[in-house]
Structure 1
Amino acid sequence: MRAAVSSLLGLSILCTSAWAVETAPAPAAAAAPAPQTLPASKPKAAPAAANPNAPVLENKALTAEQQAQNKALQEAKIKALVKDQHSRLQQLEKANLEALAQNQELQLKNDSLGVQVQVLQSERSAQMFLYGAATIAAGVLLGFLIAGYVHTKRRRQW
């Protein structure tokens, strides 16, 4: 975002400086026809002097027209850049909103999976506790049976 703002600001500064430079040649082109009029005493020098000045004036007029066209082209490019940046900004905002929504969904899934893991861990620990209790109960029962069997066997031997 900062890059876009700084580039647009730079372009606007360049355009304003270009406009300031372009306004100065226009009055010079308007003032240029005055030297074209020569005194009547030099009729042969007038056509010779007029020929070099005419292309210069046409070049200046063309350059002014070209400058106006260049200015219009630059403005069109700037407008296209602004539209492009605006469309990119909208695309980025849309992608950002989608990413935020997806992030929220994933956080909810992560939370629910975390709860499921805790439930499974508690079930596993409860299951291990029951296995331990069953093992102890079976050991105690087996101990009583073995003790009773040994005790009755000793009575028979006497």
Structure 2
Amino acid sequence: MNFIPSIFLSSVLLLTLTACNSGNDAPKPKDTQTQTNSTENSTSAQSEMANPSEDDFVVDKSFLENGTDAEQAQELSQEPPLQEQFEVRVRRDESQYSMTGYVDKLNIMSLNNDPTSLTNVSINRGNCRTKGFYDYQNMRYGSVAQVYLGCAAENVREVTITTNSGLTYTYNF
């Protein structure tokens, strides 16, 4: 019952927004051929403007096209990086706390300037379990995430890393 007022307000807001936008004047995305044609048209329009007669009044609309291109370029620059980089190492460290005297670890070092978080690590396509996963959130350049292995370090052949951006990286040894 508490949701009825919020649903009502949401629907009223949605109706007012759709009433303001007719949908016909929404800008359509351009493909690369259209963009090249528009730049050719703008250069030809500028050359035509160079020699107008004194009686004619020519309106230059090329600045409008350039403005939309600048907005699109700004939107593209705000997207996350397409490629993230990591350095992956498999190690066997001495440990006085384990019964075997050693511990097998996987170290994942971030080579990214922007903070990156790991969401999943799969070792040998899921056939090697992990005992622990530490320091994997908000990794900046030089940060190291540690994964304690449930199998021997010399048996690791493939590591698949998934990040918070949804990208997956596979490293083979």
Point out which structure has higher relative CO (alpha carbons under 8 A, 6+ apart). 1
Q: Same fold (TM over 0.5)?
A: no
| Structure (1 or 2) with the larger CA radius of gyration | 1
**Bigger helix share:** 1
TM category (shorter chain) comes to 0.3 to 0.5
**Bigger strand share:** 2
